[in-house]
Amino acid sequence: MSQFTNNWDRKKSTGIGERLRNTFNNPGPLKPRLDAVMRQIQVVMAKLDTSMAKIRDRDASLFTKTVAAVQKHDNQRASMFANELAEVRRVGKMVTQSRLALEQVVLRLNTITELGDVVTTLAPATSIVRNVKADIAGVMPDAEGEMGEVSSLLNGILVDAGSMGGYSLNFETANEEAEKALSEAAAVAESRMKEKFPDIPQSVGAAESFETA
């Protein structure tokens, strides 16, 4: 049995919490560590879903207020509500984009079956996670901390896998793949926002469309 097979499937009697705390001091088997990463990502995705539900409610309320102000020809209040609405939608787009990017990370992690896959898959996945962490820092600080944990775990696995198999990392290629995945997530997020949220009334000249944020 190869060293990688041993490190991939070997069981540990310690709990998930202890394995997370001892990632760098005692690397342990790779597959359980990847499973732990994916569970942590699922927690963050659930928080993003909760945040998006609140954003939808806030959007509906602000949109109603904007339309009512426009109908009353109260341009000052209409502009105020519309600008706040645009900001809510900017955050909504960011949350949607972050979730889509994390979905891509989970899909990538699920494709890993051998040591070479670990190195080539985790490098761009780690870059995606780092970008998502930066995006949500201002609006979801609790999720930012969890994303930092995910990033640390992925970095640890990446380093261990690389040293175990003697693989070198091509950071340029990894960053290119990450940028492509993030661009695709941004495009899908924008499309979904357009489908799910009505246009801001055009008569409110001071409001900015969320697409330009």
Residue 76 lies in a domain: yes
Q: How many domains does the chain have?
A: 1
Alpha-carbon distance values, 180 to 45, 66, 104, 176, 187 (Å): 21, 36, 11, 6, 11
For residue 62, give its domain range. Answer: 34-198
- Does the residue 14 lie in any domain? no
pLDDT tens digits, 60-77: 999 999 999 999 999 899
Confirm whether 6 is domain-assigned. no
Residue 205 resides in a domain: no
Is 149 part of a structural domain of the chain?
yes
Tell the residue number behind the tokens 């900015």, with chain if given: 208
> Residue 33: its pLDDT value, please?
84
Let me know: does 52 contact 95? Beta carbons within 8 Å: yes
With respect to residue 5, please indicate whether it lies within any of the assigned structural domains.
Answer: no
The pTM of this model reads 0.75
* Domain assignment present for 120: yes
Q: Is residue 15 part of a domain?
A: no
Taking 50 as the threshold, does the pLDDT of residue 141 lie above it? yes
